[in-house]
Amino acid sequence: MTAVNRRPMAEAGENSAAGQSVPRVLLLVPARTYRAADFLAAAGRMGLDLVVGSDGALPLGGRPVVHVSAGDLPGTAGRIMALGTRFDAVVAVDTPMLVLAALVSGRMGLPHNPVQAVIAANDKAEQRRRWAAAAVPQPAFQVVPAGASDDALRRAAGEAGLPCVVKAVSLSASQGVLRADNPAAAVTAARRIRRILAAARRPAHEPLVVEEYVPGPELSIDGLLTDGGLAVTAVFDKPCTPDGPTFEETVLITPSRLPGPAQDAAIATAGRAARALGLTHGPVHAELRIGQRRGQARPVMLELAARSIGGLCSRALHFGNNMSLEELVLANALGRRIATSRPTAGPSGVVMLPVPRRGVLRAVEGRGDAAAVPGITGLTITIPTGQHVHPLPDGDRYLGFIFAEADTREEVEGALANARGRLRVVIR
């Protein structure tokens, strides 16, 4: 499906040349995000008049920041409206700001997702319920309330089907996600996830989801919604996704190896899933597996977020005129027609480097050797030395990202594996 076009894409400065004002965008940036710099760079390339709202101090080169709080939605929305500034778009850089962006956009009369749709997309239990009501293919599941007994957890695991996956409903990036092969393991996984939720200061009443484990190839689909229509920006294969007990995302390769009909079916399923949540506008990031049901392969929805791909993974993508994914997201928010929605370069990929063990990060050695591998286009370590680190499912951060481009997908995957093998992570 393609996005509905509203007005043509303007080159940077075109509005000024025509005597019109430069588009003004409110960019809502959580204090803890990988993505602030890439969105700021994209806005600069597009010549936008940018106002930044954040809940923390950010290194923004002296740019003034409007204080916002995702924990005080009515108060923050009121303060933004009291600025008396007319914005052409409100864009959330990452998950914590999504609901606030929808609320402020609605008050300003800008295209936006319904607030309840964004809330549903942020809640894995509500996702499952809405997808069940809309008959979207997904794993069998049970929602287990806080305070449920061990017997209730065992029953939920048996009803969902074994092996199963136990999930926190509000966390992301595979944090708080564990596979359990039997009912006793489901109880142990739930106890561990409860400790993770407490450390993350999540509400004590938050339920857990126990769902059927779906074997098969995993992929992610990124796209942009306009009036409910989905324009796909990338389909990534995940050739190294583990079978559990934890589910670190590591290697992502695009374009996908899946046959065209399988990709079309997955894209159609992602579009149905977004509409079932009530999402109509802006970026989406969908996670699916190709499972076997009744002897036939079909896409099964795992999760969907009302944002673009996380971390620094978008740096693996380049579009027409060397546009970044962040530029496409901003253009979509401004109602501009997107000339191309698929990457224009050859095969590319990224390795997300997981934290191997708990401790204090002392060094990541071998970076020069890794960066020198043919096909490697970038290597970024995102956790400073001296910080305490925790592996998944307890932690919520990756050590860094390696990027590659080559003539074939096999060469991209080989270059990433070669570069990753040259790194030595020192943790005390």
Residue 302 scores a pLDDT above 60 = yes
- Of the candidates 212, 245, 264, which is a domain's last residue? 212
| Mean pLDDT of the chain, nearest integer | 91
Same domain, 64 and 147: no
Same domain, 51 and 92: yes
1-50 pLDDT, tens digit each: 323 223 333 333 334 334 468 999 999 999 888 899 999 999 999 999 99
In a domain, 256, yes or no: no
Q: Band of the pLDDT at 292, cuts 50, 70, 90? A: confident
Two structure tokens written together for 84 = 């008396």
In a domain, 222, yes or no: no
Two structure tokens written together for 258 = 């899946």
In a domain, 382, yes or no: yes
Q: What predicted TM-score, i.e. pTM, was given to this entire model?
A: 0.91
- In three-state secondary structure terms, 148 is coil
In a domain, 337, yes or no: no
pLDDT at 57: 64
In a domain, 56, yes or no: yes
pLDDT at 5: 29
Same domain, 33 and 109: yes
Same domain, 177 and 104: no
Tally of residues, the chain? 428
What is the pairing mode between strands 218-226 and 251-254? unpaired
Q: Give me the mean pLDDT over the 282-286 stretch.
A: 97
- Give the range of the structural domain holding residue 41, as residue numbers without chain letter: 14-113
Percent of the chain with pLDDT over 70: 92
- In three-state secondary structure terms, 399 is coil
- Of the candidates 185, 212, 239, which is a domain's last residue? 212
pLDDT at 62: 65
Query: What is the CATH number for 390?
Result: 3.30.470.20
Two structure tokens written together for 183 = 């009912």
Sheet holding 388-389, edge to edge: 388-389, 359-365, 424-427
Domain count, the chain: 3
The answer to whether the beta carbons of residues 313 and 287 sit under 8 Å apart is: no
pLDDT at 296: 81
In a domain, 267, yes or no: no
In a domain, 358, yes or no: yes
Q: Band of the pLDDT at 341, cuts 50, 70, 90? A: low
Measured distance CA(33)–CA(383) in Å, rounded: 12
The DSSP symbol for 135 reads T
377-389 pLDDT, tens digit each: 999 999 999 999 9
In a domain, 383, yes or no: yes
Nearest to 37 by CA among 56, 65, 59, 66: 59
Q: What is the phi/psi pair of residue 310, to 5°?
A: -90, -175
